[in-house]
Amino acid sequence: MSDIRYTKDHEYIRIDGDLGTVGITDYAQKALGDVVFVELPQVGDAVAKGAQAAVVESVKAASEVYAPVAGDVTDVNATLEREPGAVNEDAAGKGWFFRIKIANAGDLNELMDEAAYKAFLATLE
């Protein structure tokens, strides 16, 4: 079973060994509204923890997507370039943004687990 961690900026990373799949949470996609454009990183890009890795634009606003951990981009969800609405339909599934080879597993310890993220969301209401 994969482990999922969350950032306070509403990104998630689904961890599978030393690889992670990154996207925005359901909370984030609802806050953005209808997603109309996604700009993805390039495969091979090195991203720093907390640095901008992608951009998501909706009918309401544009927002940066930050890397929850440092590492190298191994794959991107090219489907989002043609079908950005997949983020709204299934943010945690087919709406993922990119995969990353995790450079430092210790970065994961600074992220929230699901229970902590739900508690964090409760403070925003």
Give the pLDDT confidence of 93-106 residue by residue, as tens digits.
999 999 999 999 99
Q: Residue range 41-49: average pLDDT? A: 97
123: CB partners within 8 A, 6+ apart:
none
Q: Residue range 38-45: average pLDDT? A: 97
pLDDT of 82 over the 90 cut: yes
pLDDT band at 125 (very low <50, low <70, confident <90, very high): confident
Across the chain, the runs of DSSP E, i.e. the strands, are 3-6, 11-16, 19-24, 35-39, 46-47, 52-58, 62-66, 71-76, 98-102
Across the chain, mean pLDDT equals 95
pLDDT of residue 2: 59
pLDDT of residue 46: 97
- Strands 11-16, 3-6: parallel, antiparallel or unpaired by DSSP? antiparallel
Burial class from Cβ neighbours inside 10 Å (0-12, 13-18, 19+) for residue 108 reads middle
pLDDT band at 1 (very low <50, low <70, confident <90, very high): very low
Domain 3-124: give its CATH code. 2.40.50.100
Report the distance separating Cα 106 and Cα 41, nearest Å.
23
